[in-house]
Amino acid sequence: MAVRPSWEGHLRLSLVTCPVALFPATSEAQTVRFNLINPETNNRIRMKTVDAGTGEEVSRGDLVKGFEIAKGEYVLLDKEDFEQVKLESTRIIDIEKFVPRAGIDRLYWDTPYHLVPSGKTGVEAFAVIREAMKKKGMVAIGRLVMSTRERICAIEIEESGLLLTTLRTAEEVRDVTEMPTAPLPKPDAQMLAIAEKIVEQQTGKFDPADFVDRYEDALRALIEQKKKGQPVRPVAPANDDAKVVDLMAALKRSLKGGDAPAPARRAGSAASASRRSSAPKRGGRRAA
C-alpha cells in the first residue's frame, strides 16, 4: 500500500521556496490491537455517550467541549469558538534560523517525518537548501501549521532527503530538577574500574534489528496458539536480579560474563517471520 503524505506545501528559506511533502517516518501498523468483545455473544461492544447526571444517552452531534475551571464547573466551547482561534494553514514551512544539533536537548524531539520534494518542480531549490545545510552542518528551525495547530520543527539531513521532527514546547518538558532524587555517592575506585571494563566489553554498534518488542511477539504467538486451539503455555518467569546485594561480587561476575542476558533477537516464530517477510526493506538512517 502506497504511503500517503501527512502534509503538502512549500519549504521556504528567505526568498527561495520549493514544493515539499511530509511522510510519517514511523508506523504502528504492526502493533497488535484489540476490540472489546462480549464473550457470551462474541459480538463487539459499542460505547454510548451518556449524561453522567441523568443517565440518558446523548447524541455525539449535540456534544460540545468543556474546560473545567472548578470542580464540576466548565467553560463550554462550541465549533464557532474554535474557528475564532483556528490558525490558517499557509502551507509553508518557514525556516527561521539554523542551530547546531547538539544545541537541542533530546527531550524536545517529538514526531519525525521524511521531508521530500513534491514533484519535479523545485527539486533544484530543494537540493541547494539541503546541500547548504550539509556543508554548514546545521539544523534548520522553522514552524508549520498541522491540523490547525502551529508546530515548531527541526529539519536535518538524512540520506537523499531531509528529516523534519516536530519539537515539544518548553511547557511540555519537565525539568530533571523537579524529580525526587537522592544525592549520588562517590563511586568506589575499584568498582568503577570494573564497571568501565564491562562497558568496554559490551561496546558495539547500534542495530535496531537487535531489539524487538518481546511482549508484542508473545502476544502474536499467544493469538496464534489460541487460533489453532492449542493449550496456552505460561511464560517462564525472568530472573529476579533485585536480590543481588553484593555490588562488588555482581560487578566481578559480570566482568567474567556470568549471568549475562542474551540479546533480545526475534526467535524463528511464525508470527515474527511473517512480519519480517511482509515488512518493506529499510536501510538504516544515516546522516549524509
- The pTM for the full model equals 0.70
What is the model's pLDDT at position 147?
78
d(C-alpha 140, C-alpha 119), whole Å: 22
> Cell 499557509 sits at which residue?
90
Can you tell me the distance from the alpha carbon of 188 to that of 283, in angstroms, rounded to the nearest whole number? 43
Radius of gyration over every alpha carbon of the chain, rounded to an integer in angstroms: 26
Number of other CB atoms surrounding residue 86 within 10 Å = 11
CA dihedral 242→244→245→251, nearest 10 degrees, is -120
Q: Both ends of the chain: CA-CA distance in Å?
A: 28
Contact 66, 76 (CB under 8 A): yes
267: confidence class by pLDDT, cuts 50, 70, 90: very low
Q: With CA atoms as reference, report the closest residue to 138 among 100, 186, 104, 164.
A: 100
The contacts of residue 90 (CB under 8 Å, 6+ apart) are 9, 145
**Predicted local confidence at residue 273, as pLDDT:** 45
Domains in the chain, ordered, with CATH? 7-27+86-172 (2.40.290.10)
Is 112 within 8 Å of 39 (Cβ atoms)? no
Q: What is the pLDDT of residue 193?
A: 93
Contact 43, 37 (CB under 8 A): yes
pLDDT at 234: 65
- The yes-or-no verdict on residue 22 having pLDDT over 90 is yes
DSSP assignment, residue 150?
A: E
pLDDT in tens, 200-234: 998 989 888 888 878 888 888 888 888 888 776 66
| Largest Cα–Cα separation, the chain | 69
pLDDT, tens digit (0-9, with 9 covering 90-100), for 101-159: 999 999 999 999 999 999 888 899 999 999 999 999 999 999 998 877 889 999 999 98
Higher pLDDT, 133 or 82: 133
Q: Give CA separation, 275 vs 127, 185, 216, in Å.
A: 35, 46, 12
Q: How far is CA 210 from CA 15, 213, 266, in A?
A: 45, 10, 8
More confident site: 156 or 288:
156
Q: Which residue has the higher pLDDT, 269 or 177?
A: 177
| Beta-sheet pairing, 7-13 with 92-99 | parallel
Query: Does residue 183 sit in helix, strand or coil?
Result: coil
How does residue 87 score in pLDDT terms, banded at 50, 70 and 90? low
